[in-house]
Structure 1
Amino acid sequence: MPASIFNGAISFGLVSVPITVLSATEDHSVRFRRIHTADNGLVRNRYWCEEEDREVAFGEMGLGYELPDGRVIPVTDEELRALPLPTARAIELIAFIPAAAVDPLRIGPGYYLQPQGAVAAKPYLVLRHALERASRVAVARYAWHGRERLGLLRVRGDVIALHGLLWPDEIRDPATVARPPVQLDKDEIDEAMTLIEAMTRDDLTGPEFTDRYTEALHAVIEAKQEDRQPPQAPEPTAQPGQLVDLMTALQESVGKARAARGETDVPEEPAKPAKKTPPRRKASSRYASALTCRGRACGRVRTRHSDGGRAGWKAWAVTWTLPEPMLATSVPDPALLPGWAAEPKWDGWRALVSVEAGRVVLRSRRGANLVASFPEIKSGSTQLPDATALDGELIVWASGRLAFERLQGRLQRHGAGAAHLAAEWPAHFVAFDLLRLAGTNTTTWPYRQRRAALQDLFTKHKLTTPWALCPSTTEADTVNEWLSWTAVGLEGIVFKRLDGRYEPSVRGWRKYKVRETQEAIAGAVTGPLTAPRTLLLGRYDTSGQLQYTGRTTTLPHAAGHALAGLLAPATSEHPWTGWTFSAGWGTSETLDVTLIEPDLVVEVGVDVARDAAGRWRHPARWHRPRPDLSTDDVPLFGG
């Protein structure tokens, strides 16, 4: 238990709650000492009096304020203790405000407030529950270290935490920061938005948020203490930069994963798409494709009309632009219905590409321009015929799996930086639909015709990396085969009507995401232990360390209350002690988390999207507690 820093009381109206202030944080920094390099002797500071020109002992020193003219005004400890401050021994609550109203720049280090004895426990808990129910934080005034301060009281777990607050005049005006005049392009902002979405996390847990520098320092010190060679940086085990045949690599990895599970069957080749039929133009232009300019003038006139509940555009286009992507709605059943085709669902970034007169457009689903971030796609566009456009998914294949995390750093890289990443972790464009072919708009064609033309495009032009043709099938056995490819990162199945047109922004496709029932260990909760809101889950690794693996969605009300009797606060050193969890992207507010004894096994539903370490990328859905299982029954982390 941390040592007491300060004893006082919370003053709340006519109520006074005796409390002890404890530090809420720990500093694990490696502390170095100054040494004499010739003999490793410690070098110490000495205090020297300028008036008497001699060294003085600590007991001879006091405090003084230096005036501009050089004179010094002494101030004694007794005078400081006697300052006429009503808050000298009390934390006086003066206001209650929403947490979002506090500028994060003003928030200082955190402390825990502990009630002093049984008498103080009840008013302490009353204040804690009132703050939680009101969704407010308290602003306080108190004196500490020789000055009066503002403080912020908030609920964290089952206790009240105190943060120091800077006074308003202690925050510099941001207008003093020099900003060179620049012009922003909307596409650049859209790129940043896409990057934010790709890098959004639920919390601040995981190996990328650990202090690797301090760990490396400890390793060097321990090695030198034992007269060993300090550890060197490991050589990379992967062989980046190698362009591969995507489908061949995919099937090889699936085979290896099956062999590791003891299965002997080999995945069959995906069924070939429907036989190509010659492209036909409709006599009527009633369903012209929905060409959009995204706010840019494209020299055309358009009128909106409807037919049979479908909206379309009748357009006379001078220039062709990429349409908005067609979308899919989720379905709970992976059954392949008559009149439908199926395709694998990839764990990557949705993108549309267009090539015309040497100009390449690579656009994300949200409209961001990705060309500068993926130079390998631009250079590979020379394989495509002019005036052609594809819909597909950008993916990176690494170490025998789809590596979504290798895409995350792409949008902020251009020029040499993007070229370096393209060489190290090259991206593929998995094409699953044809939007335009040699100047002919194909979005009005039925899927079976677009699919046949897409396959013919790959065959006729002998397209190779970075282009990959997405498989398509009308065979239920092949769909079941693909559903077993989750080990290499496929997320599920997308279903498309064989006679369906490509309808921009319309959810006319269907998608099924593979979900698995998994066991994990509850390591922490948000909300009170009596009715937790979410669980933070973990699994032990091969070294016996409990690693964070994911977080649940909000628990049903009944499930939260039922769990209360199965959870207990951590009574010993918890493996997650000192970890912090962010309440969301772009905010400095931390998630209120209560560590619990990691002995309850729970069952959750998760999809197959994982990061490189094996953590679930999406929240887990609550199923049920499993008190009948021990933590030894839970699979190892990353397994």
Structure 2
Amino acid sequence: MARPIWSGILSFGLVSVPVSLYAATENHTVAFRQIQRGTSDRIRNKRVNERTGEEVAFGDIVKGFELAEGEYVVVEPDELDRISPGRSKTIEITGFVDLEQVEPIYFDTTYYLGPKGKEYGKVYTLLQRALEKANRAGIAMFSMRGKEYLTAVRSENGILTAHTMHFADEVRAPRTEIPTLPAAGSDTTAVSDRELAMAQQLVDMLAVDWNPENYRDTFEQKVHELIAAKQAGQEITAPEAAPAPSNVLDLMDILGRSLESAKTASTPATGDAKAAAKAGAKSAAATAKNSRTGTGSKAGAAAGRTSAGHQPKDARGKKSTSTRARPATSATGKKTGTASRRRQDLSGLTKSELYKKATAAHLPHRSTMTRDQLQTALEQTGHGRHLRSAS
């Protein structure tokens, strides 16, 4: 169970509710120890007096604001609390805003807000449902760990969340900070209508629905793979080369090839879906016809004996020495049994799991594919069963 990182009073108007603040996210960065090269000796950081070199206890360390070299104003921790006694224990909502008016750059960290006790559930629910119906966020100020925060309190998925925000003077002006930004209307930013239309078409072709479960920290995974490889004494492969910058002179050609690539990635899945639908309809019709004529029972029994592991007899009445059942053949003469089994192997996997298999199979354009397209592409390349067993 998570421990609260702050507790206080959340208030709006004359209504107040004791709340606790909880971290809404966690960091999965791989943790390393610092050791001396060639040994297993840990490296420790110590707080030492710069002049004497002696270690200083944590309780003997205070904050100092430097006025001049060697001259400081000393500030004790409780003195910082004294100048903001109310805000250090209160999140006081002073107004409600439409979040669509707030630019994303102002948001910093998200926290969960929970009632401090079950007896405060009614007041907590009152504020949560009021914010949900109004589709607004309460703007408040509060202090935590010696710093004051601008905060937006909103209702999300039936609970209250608090988003700490940057103050206006903390947001940098991009035109000042980035000297290479192209000036609007200059010759270097002139874009033709055809270029813009092709770029918009490419954006539309690669449009996806937002699903955070489809995205993973691939670098963290690679770090774990690196550690496992080094532990096993394996050779570390070189990373993939970064893509080269687009040549402005060949921009139309690049856009055209990008569109063709996107079409190639999406076309096979569409074709397979139609073919599968037709094959399914034919199979269903054949099954229905066999059941009416009675021929299906014999075929079904034969298929059952084969799938159960009995060896089929050949034309001379002898048992075949092969222990593998032959795949079924469709009306067009193509073998369908193996592909069907691959589809069954992959059908229960998520998009992220399919993407990992596509990466291992070096499938091109995998980053632009939907889940169904990834499955179809893996089935077509024959990696379905092999990759499942290897995962």
Instruction: Classify the TM-score, shorter chain.
Output: 0.5 to 0.7
Q: Distance in 1 between matches of 2:32 and 2:154?
A: 35
CA contact (8 A) 1:8 1:90 kept: yes
Q: Distance in 2 between matches of 1:612 and 1:65?
A: 58
Of 212, 215, 222, which residue of structure 2 is paired with 1:205?
212
**2:220 equivalent in structure 1:** 214
Note the 1:347-362 alignment, pairs <5 A.
none
Q: Distance in 2 between matches of 1:100 and 1:68?
A: 46
CA contact (8 A) 1:219 1:231 kept: no
Aligned-residue RMSD, C-alpha: 3.9
- Larger helix proportion of the pair: 2
Note the 1:517-536 alignment, pairs <5 A.
none
The answer to whether residue 178 in structure 2 is matched with residue 196 in structure 1 is: no
Q: Residues 219, 482 of structure 1: CA spacing in aligned structure 2 closer, same or farther, 3 A cutoff?
A: closer
The answer to whether residue 255 in structure 2 is matched with residue 373 in structure 1 is: yes
**1:175 equivalent in structure 2:** 175
Q: Distance in 1 between matches of 2:64 and 2:7?
A: 26
Q: Residues 96, 548 of structure 1: CA spacing in aligned structure 2 closer, same or farther, 3 A cutoff?
A: farther
Q: Distance in 2 between matches of 1:119 and 1:22?
A: 19
**1:184 equivalent in structure 2:** 190
The answer to whether residue 370 in structure 2 is matched with residue 612 in structure 1 is: no
Q: Distance in 1 between matches of 2:278 and 2:6?
A: 54
TM-score in terms of structure 2 length: 0.62
Structure 1 unaligned blocks of 5 or more: 236-368, 378-391, 405-469, 471-480, 489-539, 550-607, 616-635
Q: What is the identity, as a one-letter code, of the residue corresponding to 1:484?
A: A
Q: Residues 609, 173 of structure 1: CA spacing in aligned structure 2 closer, same or farther, 3 A cutoff?
A: closer
How far did 1:155 drift?
1.6
CA contact (8 A) 2:132 2:156 kept: no
Q: Deviations over 1:429-450 (max 9, x none)?
A: xxxxxxxxxxxxxxxxxxxxxx
Q: Distance in 1 between matches of 2:371 and 2:111?
A: 38
2:51 counterpart SS class: coil
Moved more, 160-169 or 212-221: 212-221
**2:154 equivalent in structure 1:** 154
Q: Residues 541, 173 of structure 1: CA spacing in aligned structure 2 closer, same or farther, 3 A cutoff?
A: farther
Structure 2 unaligned blocks of 5 or more: 241-250, 280-343, 354-369, 378-387
The answer to whether residue 119 in structure 2 is matched with residue 122 in structure 1 is: no
Q: Distance in 2 between matches of 1:394 and 1:545?
A: 23
Note the 1:464-613 alignment, pairs <5 A.
483-485=274-276, 610-613=372-375
How far did 1:82 drift?
1.8
The answer to whether residue 75 in structure 2 is matched with residue 94 in structure 1 is: no
Q: What is the identity, as a one-letter code, of the residue corresponding to 1:184?
A: A
1:194 counterpart SS class: helix
How far did 1:131 drift?
0.7
Q: Residues 111, 609 of structure 1: CA spacing in aligned structure 2 closer, same or farther, 3 A cutoff?
A: closer
**1:629 equivalent in structure 2:** none
Q: Distance in 2 between matches of 1:83 and 1:166?
A: 21
Q: Residues 395, 191 of structure 1: CA spacing in aligned structure 2 closer, same or farther, 3 A cutoff?
A: closer
Q: Percent identity?
A: 30
1:28 counterpart SS class: coil
The answer to whether residue 52 in structure 2 is matched with residue 52 in structure 1 is: yes
**1:333 equivalent in structure 2:** none
Q: What is the identity, as a one-letter code, of the residue corresponding to 1:229?
A: Q
Q: Residues 151, 220 of structure 1: CA spacing in aligned structure 2 closer, same or farther, 3 A cutoff?
A: same
Q: Residues 65, 483 of structure 1: CA spacing in aligned structure 2 closer, same or farther, 3 A cutoff?
A: same
Q: Residues 63, 370 of structure 1: CA spacing in aligned structure 2 closer, same or farther, 3 A cutoff?
A: same
CA contact (8 A) 1:98 1:135 kept: yes
TM-score in terms of structure 1 length: 0.39
Q: Distance in 2 between matches of 1:3 and 1:191?
A: 52
Note the 1:173-572 alignment, pairs <5 A.
173-176=173-176, 177-178=178-179, 179-181=181-183, 182-187=188-193, 188-205=195-212, 207=214, 209-225=215-231, 227=232, 229=234, 371-374=253-256, 395-396=263-264, 402=268, 483-485=274-276
Q: Deviations over 1:185-230 (max 9, x none)?
A: 13333333223222222114355x21111112123324545x4537
